[in-house]
Structure 1
Amino acid sequence: MNNQENGTGNFLTGIIVGSIVGAATALLVAPKSGKELRSELSEQVDALREKSGEWKETVMEKGSDLTSTAMEKTSQIRQTAMEKSSNLAETVKDKADQFRNTAKTAVDEVAENAKTGADDLQETVHKTVDLTADNTKNAVDQAQSAASQTGEDITEKAEQLSDQVKNS
């Protein structure tokens, strides 16, 4: 049962990381303005938060199902154990309580990891948006400077040609 829980946790982690990387790559590669990029990144973060909430609910439901199944199995085992020995029944009850606590702890950890992942993603997206906006502003400033210099060079050449034509 522990392997199943670990596999489910790894699967959900893979989904979250894959979604983050895919969304970030798609948004950063697309040719958009800084404002559009920030807007779209914000929408993606909101969508990811919603999905992580859904995943959390799914994990909680699966945990409840596991707990319910464990409780049913415990009841059956308890009945059989009472027929065999009262000491054995007490041991099974203790093991069932331990299993329930372990399952609850695992579900709580997965939910906390999902929340932490979403928070980390949001922080990364904000940093990426800020960096992209800064880079875009620098590129625009450089382009404007180059255009201004080119305009000045053209004006200077035109004046020189005009002077040459007048002198000729």
Structure 2
Amino acid sequence: MSNQQKGKDLLIGAIVGGVLGAATALLFAPKSGRELRSDIAGQAQAVSEKTVQIASTVSQKTQEVAKTVSTHATDLVGKAKETASNVVESVRSWKESRQEEQVEAAEEVSEAAEDLVIVGNR
């Protein structure tokens, strides 16, 4: 489950829990209609403020996580490029050394063939 989904679930849970808890507490309190409506309005305001606060916190945490992930991803990409460059350079060096060895072997074969021709002509 992603962090964003967890944040949404937390926010929804907080809202639903706050509303249900406030409504239950107010409805079971022995008060007059005017007092009850006033308490409900106050609790609705408190839930609204708490929801805004939680949403702000979730937003900040999400931004922090996104920034951290971005930094780590950038580091990993840099390391991958460096490793790939090292591998390419190693392969290139190996290939060049193999070509030099082939040239040297061809020269040795050519010299040996010349020696055989000289020996054969005697």
TM-score, structure 2 normalization = 0.68
Q: Which runs of 4+ in 1 moved over 6 A?
A: none
Q: Is 1:160 the equivalent of 2:108?
A: no
- Matched with 1:88 is 40
Deviation at 1:164, TM superposition (A): 0.3
The one-letter code sitting in structure 1 at the alignment partner of 2:5 is N
Q: After superposition, give the CA deviation of every residue in 1:46-73 in whole Å (9 maximum; x if it has no partner).
A: xxxxxxxxxxxxxxxxxxxxxxxxxxxx
Partners of 2:106 and 2:7 lie apart in 1 by 66
Structure 2's unaligned 5+ residue stretches are 9-33
- Matched with 2:100 is 148
- Matched with 2:61 is 109
Q: After superposition, give the CA deviation of every residue in 1:104-136 in whole Å (9 maximum; x if it has no partner).
A: 111111111211111111000110011011101
Task: Select the structure of larger CA radius of gyration.
Answer: 2
Structure 1's unaligned 5+ residue stretches are 10-81
Distance 1:8 1:85, change over 3 A: closer
Higher relative CO (CA 8 A, sep ≥ 6), structure 1 or 2?
1
**Count of aligned residue pairs for this structure pair:** 93
Q: After superposition, give the CA deviation of every residue in 1:16-47 in whole Å (9 maximum; x if it has no partner).
A: xxxxxxxxxxxxxxxxxxxxxxxxxxxxxxxx
SS in 1 for 2:113: helix
* CA RMSD of superposed structures (Å): 2.3
1:137 to 66, 89, 103: 89
- Matched with 1:75 is none
% of aligned pairs identical? 18
